């Protein structure tokens, strides 16, 4: 096919401005995640003063599976932001075309987009096990998830152009709206390479965090053997009685406190005394057995990490709507592509801000072990 079929003109001022906005959002995400990774490295590797609560907390967190998931997520955010920065080149020249730069942008965007979905899924399931089941996952769950995740992120982008790509379908990494990604001739590959993972990430986030909400609201009780008990009838009975008794008042207050604590809204972030099966103490030695209750500090960190998959859901929704519209045969306007690109490329900035506002949860105070 002629090369002209794999190019697009963006010479109008509003089109150049749109590409520039996407590139700026990508640059902001790339710079913010890079600085955050340097910040974490400074406190976990270079700071030798073990008496600093934040340094101790970050050092312990990075050694955990959740810490590895978050670092992996930030690395993918950095790659995604760097890929969107290449839109500066397209805006400068007023056109986009297939070639080495488009391939580089498409491959880096694929790693960043897919990685954000994979690590959001990993954080969701790990958080579910800690907060809903109140148990530590098996000690091999983290290494296996990390290995599989990075194998997928490395192998799939390489297989695309070298194994799956066909000349009659065009370049595997080609123009895709307002940036380069998998070409329009590879609809099935788009589904398998990203859409399935995005929907899985969104679906698991909704289901898992709904269950965690019900768990903290005492609608669901998990026994020591893992058996679930539902208390919907009891809550309904309390409402029918008007909730006028002192016991009913205390139950509502405890339920509200648990729900607030679930999302990190409790005033005292280090108070982890829960009613029923949620009461647990921090083990004095590292424990990897999944039958051992989760410590208080780990619960605190896990509750804050719940916001990362939730943030991912918000930034990915516009681009998901845009992509599914293309699959349905509708051509979204350029402005919608720009809006979706800005939201999507701001993923790294979103996660950086989440870390800034929740970093106090990593602080280990005196008397609380790692």
Backbone phi, then psi, for 9, in 5-degree steps?
-95, 125
Residues with Cβ < 8 Å from 351, sequence gap 6 or more? Answer: 33, 73, 74, 77, 308, 311
On whether the CB atoms of residues 276 and 84 are closer than 8 A, the answer is no
Name the nearest CA neighbour of 22 among 87, 76, 77, 103.
87
Give the side-chain half-sphere CA count within 13 A for 136: 23
- Residue 3 counted as domain residue: no
Domain of 183 in residue numbering reads as 12-362
Please tell me the predicted confidence (pLDDT) of residue 130. 82
- Residue 1 counted as domain residue: no
Give the side-chain half-sphere CA count within 13 A for 131: 34
Please tell me the predicted confidence (pLDDT) of residue 275. 32
Name 8's bridge partners. 96
Q: Tell me which residue has tokens 């609809």.
A: 187
Backbone phi, then psi, for 170, in 5-degree steps?
90, 180
- Residue 342 counted as domain residue: yes
> What CA–CA distance (Å, rounded) separates 140 from 134?
18
Q: Tell me which residue has tokens 């150049």.
A: 16
**CATH code, 190:** 1.20.1070.10
- Residue 369 counted as domain residue: no
Name 173's bridge partners. 182
Please tell me the predicted confidence (pLDDT) of residue 59. 82
The whole-number mean pLDDT for each consecutive block of 10 residues of the chain, a chain of 370 residues, reads 62 92 96 94 78 76 88 96 95 91 95 94 89 82 94 94 89 90 89 92 88 79 69 55 46 42 40 32 37 55 75 87 81 87 91 84 48
- Residue 148 counted as domain residue: yes
Percent of the chain that is helix, strand, coil (3-state, to 5) = 70, 5, 25
Please tell me the predicted confidence (pLDDT) of residue 328. 79
Cα angle, residue 123 at apex, residues 117 and 127 outer, rounded to 5°: 145
- Residue 4 counted as domain residue: no
Please tell me the predicted confidence (pLDDT) of residue 362. 63
Q: Tell me which residue has tokens 């592509």.
A: 337
As for how many domains the chain has, the answer is 1
- Residue 218 counted as domain residue: yes
> What CA–CA distance (Å, rounded) separates 55 from 45?
9
- The pair of three-digit structure tokens given for residue 261, joined into one six-digit string: 């604590």
**pLDDT for 288-318, tens place per residue?**
344 444 556 566 666 777 788 888 888 988 8
- Residue 299 counted as domain residue: yes
């Amino acid at each position: 096919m002629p090369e002209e079929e794999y190019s697009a003109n963006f010479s109008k001022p509003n089109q150049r401005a749109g590409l520039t906005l996407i590139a700026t959002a990508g640059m902001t995400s790339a710079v913010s995640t890079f600085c955050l990774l340097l910040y974490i490295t400074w406190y976990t590797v270079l700071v030798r003063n073990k008496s600093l609560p934040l340094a101790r907390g970050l050092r312990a967190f990075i050694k955990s599976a959740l810490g590895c998931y978050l670092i992996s997520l930030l690395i993918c955010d950095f790659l995604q932001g760097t890929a969107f920065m290449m839109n500066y080149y397209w805006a400068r020249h007023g056109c986009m075309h297939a070639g080495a730069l488009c391939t580089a942008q498409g491959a880096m965007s694929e790693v960043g987009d897919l990685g954000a979905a994979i690590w959001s899924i990993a954080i969701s399931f790990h958080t579910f096990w800690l907060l809903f089941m109140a148990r530590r996952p098996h000690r091999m769950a983290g290494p296996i998830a990390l290995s599989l995740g990075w194998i997928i992120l490395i192998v799939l982008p390489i297989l695309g152009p070298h194994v799956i790509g066909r000349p009659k379908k065009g370049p595997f990494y080609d123009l895709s709206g307002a940036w380069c990604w998998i070409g329009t001739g590879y609809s099935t590959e788009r589904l398998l390479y990203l859409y399935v993972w995005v929907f899985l990430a969104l679906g698991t986030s909704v289901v898992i965090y709904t269950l965690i909400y019900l768990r903290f609201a005492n609608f669901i009780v998990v026994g020591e053997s893992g058996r679930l008990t539902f208390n919907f009838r009891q809550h309904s009975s309390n409402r029918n009685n008007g909730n006028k008794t002192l016991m009913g008042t205390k139950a509502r207050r405890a339920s509200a406190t648990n729900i607030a604590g679930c999302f990190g809204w409790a005033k005292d972030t280090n108070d982890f005394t829960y009613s029923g099966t949620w009461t647990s103490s921090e083990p004095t030695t590292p424990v990897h057995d999944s039958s051992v209750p989760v410590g208080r500090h780990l619960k605190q960190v896990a509750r804050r990490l719940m916001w990362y998959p939730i943030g991912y859901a918000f930034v990915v929704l516009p681009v998901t709507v845009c992509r599914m519209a293309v699959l349905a045969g509708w051509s979204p306007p350029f402005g919608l592509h720009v809006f979706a690109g800005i939201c999507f490329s701001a993923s790294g900035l979103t996660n950086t801000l989440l870390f800034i506002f929740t970093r106090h949860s990593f602080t280990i105070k005196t008397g609380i072990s790692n």
